[in-house]
Amino acid sequence: MTQPSDIIHQAIRGDRVAIDRVLKQYTPLVQKIVNKYCFMAPRHSREDLVQEGLIGVVKAIRTFDPERGNRLMTWIYPNVRIAVQGAARKYKRTPKYMLSLEQCDWANNLEDPNVYALRDDLTSDRIREMIIEGCGSIDSKSAKIVCRRFGLLGQSPLRQGEVAREFGMSKQAVQSHLARFHRKMRDKHPELAGMV
C-alpha cells in the first residue's frame, strides 16, 4: 500500500490516478470553501463553484514545490479559495443568461428625454406651494437647491455636482437637502408620488 506522501509525489509528477485520489481527499475542503462564498453567486449552482475549486486543487498540485518544506494542504487552501472566490465574483458580475439591450425594460427609456420630466398637470403656483411646504420658504437655500436641481420656476435643470459647485457645498450636502424635500413631499402629499 502506498503512503500518503507517495501519492502526493506521484500526483506532482502527473500520475492521473494519484491526482484523482488527491482530488477525492480534498473535495470536502473545496465544499467547505464553496459554502463560504456561495452567497456571492446565488444564481449559479454550487456545482459550478465546486468545479472551480477542484481546478484550484489541480493547479496547486501542479505548482507545489515539496522542497520548500511546506505541506500540500498549505498550498492547496489558498489556491482553492482564490479560484472559488474569483469565480463567485465573476458570476456575481455577469448573469447566467445574458440579455440584449432590446430585451431589457429600462433600455426603452434610454432615448426618452421626458422620462424624468415634470408633468404638465402641475402649475407654477402649485409648484411654488409645494416648495414652500417642503423647504419652509421660497427664498431658503433648500428651495434654491431644489429649483436648480430640477429646473423649477424658470430655472434650468442642473446635475447634482453642478448644483454643489454653484452653492459651494458637497454633493452629499445637496443630496441631503433633496432627500429632506422628497421626504416632506411624500409625507404631506402621497398622491403626488409619481408626479415628479
Do residue 66 and residue 138 come from a single domain? no
DSSP state of 67: G
Looking at the structure of the chain, the number of domains it has is 2
Q: Which helix (H) or strand (E) holds 75?
A: helix 72-93
pLDDT of residue 41 exceeding 80, the answer is no
Which domain range does residue 149 map to? Answer: 124-192
- What distance lies between CA 101 and its chain's CA centroid? 19
Residue 100 domain-assigned (yes or no): no
CATH number at residue 72: 1.20.120.1810
For 55-105, write each residue's pLDDT tens digit. Answer: 998 888 888 877 787 787 888 888 998 888 888 877 665 555 555 545 555
Is 33 a member of any domain? yes
49 pLDDT band, cuts 50/70/90, is confident
Does 99 reside within a domain?
no
User: Per-residue pLDDT tens for 94-148?
Assistant: 555 555 545 555 444 444 444 444 444 456 777 788 888 888 888 888 888 888 8
Q: Is residue 112 part of a domain?
A: no
Whether residues 16 and 82 fall in one domain: yes
The verdict on 139 and 62 lying in the same domain is no
Give residue for cell 441631503: 176
Residue 104 lies in a domain: no
Q: Which of the four pLDDT bands, split at 50, 70 and 90, describes residue 194?
A: low
Grid cell in block for residue 167: 452653492
